[in-house]
Amino acid sequence: MKTPLVAVTMGDGAGVGPEVVVRALADPEVRSLCRPVVVGDLRRLGDAAHITGVDVELRAVDGPEAAASEPGTIDVIDLGLLPADLPYGELSAVAGDAAYQYVKVASELAVAGRVQAICTAPLNKEALHAGGHPYPGHTELLAELCGVDEVSMMLSTPTVKVIHVTTHIGLVDAIERIDDALVERTIRRGDATLRHAGLARPRLGVCGINPHAGENGLFGRGEEAEKIVPAVERCRADGLDVQGPLPADTAFYLASRGDYDLIVAMYHDQGHGPVKVLGLETGVNISVGLPVIRTSVDHGTAFDIAGTGRADAGSMIEALRQAAALAPSP
């Protein structure tokens, strides 16, 4: 049986993206699960193979259809956008623009059905902006490229999964943006995703916004009652197994001991903080609501170690595993 074709974007060439990509794609287990094709710069990937000591042949291909399964070869759609002397660990508008172009090509391949999933290495948001693409991140960029209005960010680890109601906006704006309709749509997207993954009736815990979920009006301005309770009630009325609003700190403790399959976080750091504490190696970022499958590493460009060969590829390997698991049959 053929494994799914996955377009792997190289991310920001000044960061650890090329290193985690070559390390992950040399992993025999990854190659038994999918046929990857990297969208990036072949020369930079060669540099990364040298830095990491990964013994691999890099091969330029015109399209994903030629992608091989063997771990000894990495197939690359070479956009050739980066200068040979691009420094590691420094913000670069050229690398930011290139990272955008890789995602654009990968999304076109996915929308055309030429790959079954996209898996992204990290881009640097400041570089992306400096390169002329003012998107908050991949999620919003892919939503626009795929013609979708709203996408949710899910972080998945073996113990805790979390979906976010808001992500890359300021905290004051996030609280302003949260309303019961957005909370409800996020709950339903999370529930549907876990059902699709095989859970018959996922158990969801919904965080409050304020400390102790407002402690019955002691803290905050009644945001829980106004923005969260109606959404939870509507979802429960439809038979979803949803509890909340819960104190966010307790919600993550309860999820870690197995009481919930998915936590619904109201804003970026509420969901990301607990997941990052579990380690960078196993976390995967999954876009929920796109017409294509997209997974990503759960870490950033790590400019402090880029070019040193120290980058751990665990998150990239897990992101590729999840991409292969979620992808439709080729």
Residues that bind ligand NAI (CB under 6 A): 16, 20, 122-126, 138, 280, 285, 296-297, 299-302, 304-305, 311-312
Distance CA 116, CA 294 (A): 9
**Nearest-approach distance from CB 279 to ligand LD2JLWAY, in angstroms:** 15
- Rank residues 17 and 205 by Cβ distance to ligand NAI and give the closer one: 17
The bridge status of strand 117-120 relative to strand 294-297 is: parallel
DSSP 144: H
Q: Which amino acid is at 273?
A: G
- Which pair of tokens denotes residue 182? 């957005």
Query: Cis before residue 245, ω within 30 degrees of 0?
Result: yes
The answer to whether the beta carbons of residues 38 and 69 sit under 8 Å apart is no
Residue closer to ligand NAI, measured from CB, 302 or 327: 302
Q: What whole-number distance in Å separates Cα of residue 222 and Cα of residue 226?
A: 6
Q: With CB under 6 A as the contact rule, which of the stretches 12-20, 45-53, 132-140, 321-329 interacts with ligand LD2JLWAY?
A: 132-140
Kindly tell me which of 12 and 224 has the beta carbon lying closer to ligand LD2JLWAY.
12
Say which residues have a Cβ less than 8 Å from residue 194's Cβ, sequence separation at least 6.
161, 202, 261, 262
- From the list ligand NAI, ligand LD2JLWAY, none, pick the one residue 16 interacts with, judged by a Cβ distance below 5 to 8 Å according to partner type: ligand NAI
Q: Are strands 35-40 and 161-164 parallel, antiparallel or unpaired?
A: unpaired
Q: Which helix (H) or strand (E) segment is 77 a member of?
A: strand 73-78
Q: Give which of ligand NAI, ligand LD2JLWAY, none residue 309 binds (C-beta under 5 to 8 Å, depending on kind).
A: none
Q: Which of 138, 161, 203, 321: binder of ligand LD2JLWAY (CB under 6 A)?
A: 138
Applying CB under 6 A, among 137, 230, 273, 330 the residue interacting with ligand LD2JLWAY is 137
- Retrieve residue 72's tokens: 């000894």
Stretch near ligand LD2JLWAY under the rule CB under 6 A, chosen from 49-57, 131-139, 247-255, 306-314 = 131-139
Site string for ligand LD2JLWAY, 249-288 (x = CB under 6 A): -----------------------x------------x---
Please name the residues in contact with 71: beta carbons below 8 A apart, sequence gap of 6 or more: 25, 26, 27, 28, 30, 31, 56
Binding segment (CB under 6 A) for ligand LD2JLWAY, from list 33-41, 100-108, 134-142, 317-325: 134-142
Contacting residue, 166, 296, 301, 315, with ligand LD2JLWAY by CB under 6 A: 296
- Pick one of ligand NAI, ligand LD2JLWAY, none as the site partner of residue 139 (Cβ within 5 to 8 A by kind): ligand LD2JLWAY
DSSP tag of 238: T
Selected from 9, 52, 124, 139, the binder of ligand LD2JLWAY by CB under 6 A is: 139
Q: Which one, 92 or 295, has the nearer CB to ligand LD2JLWAY?
A: 295
Amino acid letter for position 192: A
Which alpha helices (H) appear in the chain, and where do they start and end? Answer: 17-25, 28-33, 42-52, 93-111, 125-130, 138-146, 171-177, 180-196, 223, 229-237, 248-256, 268-277, 314-326
Residue 304 contact among ligand LD2JLWAY, ligand NAI, none, beta carbon within 5 to 8 Å by kind: ligand NAI
Question: 305 touches which of ligand LD2JLWAY, ligand NAI, none (CB within 5 to 8 A by kind)?
Answer: ligand NAI
CB 21 within 8 A of CB 40: yes
Does the footprint of ligand LD2JLWAY cover residue 161 (CB under 6 A)? no
Residue 138 beta carbon to ligand NAI: minimum distance, rounded to whole angstroms:
6
Q: Is 244 left (phi over 0), alpha (psi -120 to 50) or beta?
A: left
Q: Which residues bind ligand LD2JLWAY (CB under 6 A)?
A: 137-139, 272, 285, 296
